[in-house]
């Protein structure tokens, strides 16, 4: 029982330590701001530096990191450490080029130094939501491009291997720019895979801002579509004319019988034993039999069955309407294809990277 109680106390201590550690970054920031306001600059510098350096369990969010760096820069300035203040302000500008210190909180010597650093620090930032869900062809993925000063940039979307996919914007950005993407490739199809959103300056000057990029993991959720109707066959289609078999049989029978009338007597008796009149009669009879076969053919030739033709036309119209309905419904469902875009962390792109 004593050992179990000891383990319980140890577990509670560890849990308590984790809670304190999880809150320590924010607490250190608050204590550092309080020390700055009390003009205790040495203590403020130590506390603010600790809050910025703490990475476990999680570092400060960008907004809190910007606040901590601003107070740290002001602290360094009042301690006579101007270079350190400039370095801290540069980090602020890299985090958020649009940021400005509050003039109601910080005195002019702090805000003036920040503006001086901002004028000489050229940087680009891109802000994207961590997760975006959009309907393809309807909604748009949005990214905010930020610059510390006027810059000409190109915003491109590329495959993970660096091959270009689509250029989203090319031109000047004075402060901020909202860039959108319809979620489609140049071929008009929704993509599926990993992509790179890159914001790069259109200059090669040594002091040009560094390009920024963010990995996008795109997955599409394609809705189910209806199957196409089965093609019409016979059956269920009815025959649309009478059979041609009897007519062909009558024709064949007449022709064969006529040929037999002409040929068989010549086979049975030599031609020299037959008188001319008998031969002529034989040809007349053969021709008559053949003609009777032709007459029977035309009398029994295929004829359209009007009732069946009308019934089949009705079935074809109904089948075509069903095909059109399925086509329209599938097109409507495909319009509702949803994309999920998950963005990774924003990183500095290597110079010369595609």
pLDDT tens, 232-258?
A: 775 677 777 666 566 556 556 655 665
Query: In the chain, which residues fall in CATH 2.60.40?
Result: 124-219+339-348
What percent of the chain shows pLDDT beyond 90?
A: 32
For residues 233 and 256, what is the distance between their CA atoms, to the nearest angstrom? 37
Lowest mean pLDDT among 56-60, 98-102, 118-122, 137-141: 56-60
Which has the closest alpha carbon to 183: 220, 154, 158, 215?
220
For residues 139 and 128, what is the distance between their CA atoms, to the nearest angstrom? 15
State the pLDDT confidence band at 351, using cuts at 50, 70 and 90.
low
Say which residue the tokens 């003009």 belong to.
39
| pTM (predicted TM-score) | 0.53
4-25: pLDDT as tens digits = 444 333 443 444 444 444 457 8
Element housing 310 (H / E): helix 306-334
Burial 7-27 (b: 16+ CB within 10 A, else e): eeeeeeeeeeeeeeeeebbee
Element housing 306 (H / E): helix 306-334
For residues 153 and 176, what is the distance between their CA atoms, to the nearest angstrom? 11
> pLDDT: is 277 or 327 the higher one?
327
Say which residue the tokens 């034989």 belong to.
282
Fold type of domain 16-120: 1.25.40
**Lookup: tokens for 144:** 């905010």
Query: In the chain, which residues fall in CATH 1.25.40.10?
Result: 16-120
Measured in degrees and rounded to the nearest 5, phi and psi for residue 124 equal: -125, 140
Class of domain 124-219+339-348: mainly beta
Check if the beta carbon of residue 157 is closer than 8 Å to that of residue 168: yes
Check if the beta carbon of residue 254 is closer than 8 Å to that of residue 294: yes
State the pLDDT confidence band at 336, using cuts at 50, 70 and 90.
low
Sheet arrangement for strand 131-135: 131-135, 338-348, 212-221, 193-201, 151-159, 164-173
222-233: pLDDT as tens digits = 667 788 888 877
CA distances from 293 to 243, 249, 255, 286, 302 (A): 17, 9, 6, 11, 16
State the pLDDT confidence band at 142, using cuts at 50, 70 and 90.
very high
**Lookup: tokens for 113:** 């130094």
């Amino acid at each position: 029982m004593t050992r179990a109680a000891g383990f319980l106390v140890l577990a509670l201590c560890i849990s308590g330590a984790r809670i304190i550690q999880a809150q320590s970054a924010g607490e250190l920031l608050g204590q550092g701001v309080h020390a700055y306001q009390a003009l205790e600059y040495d203590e403020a510098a130590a506390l603010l530096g600790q809050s910025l350096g703490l990475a476990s369990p999680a570092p400060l969010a960008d907004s809190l990191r910007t606040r901590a760096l601003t107070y740290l820069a002001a602290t360094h300035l009042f301690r006579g450490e101007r270079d350190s203040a400039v370095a801290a302000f540069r980090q602020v500008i890299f985090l958020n080029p649009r940021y400005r210190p509050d003039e109601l909180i910080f005195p002019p010597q702090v805000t003036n130094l920040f503006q001086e650093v901002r004028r000489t620090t050229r940087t680009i930032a891109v802000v994207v939501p961590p997760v975006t869900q959009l309907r393809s062809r309807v909604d748009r993925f949005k990214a905010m491009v930020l610059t510390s000063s006027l810059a000409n940039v190109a915003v491109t979307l590329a495959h993970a291997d660096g091959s270009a996919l689509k250029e989203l914007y090319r031109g000047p950005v004075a402060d901020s720019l909202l860039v959108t993407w319809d979620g489609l490739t140049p071929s008009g199809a929704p993509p599926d895979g990993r992509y790179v959103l890159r914001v790069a300056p259109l200059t090669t000057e040594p002091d040009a801002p560094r390009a920024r990029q963010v990995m996008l993991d795109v997955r599409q959720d394609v809705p189910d579509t209806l199957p196409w109707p089965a093609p019409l066959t016979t059956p269920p289609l009815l025959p649309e004319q009478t059979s041609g078999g009897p007519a062909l049989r009558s024709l064949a029978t007449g022709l064969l019988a006529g040929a037999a009338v002409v040929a068989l007597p010549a086979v049975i008796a030599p031609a020299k034993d037959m008188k001319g009149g008998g031969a002529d009669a034989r040809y007349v009879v053969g021709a008559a039999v053949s003609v009777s076969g032709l007459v029977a053919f035309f009398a029994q030739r295929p004829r359209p069955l009007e009732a069946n033709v009308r019934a089949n036309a009705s079935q074809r119209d109904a089948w075509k309407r069903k095909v059109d309905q399925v086509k329209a419904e599938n097109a409507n469902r495909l319009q509702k294809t949803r994309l999920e875009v998950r963005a990774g962390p924003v990183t500095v792109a290597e110079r010369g990277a595609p």
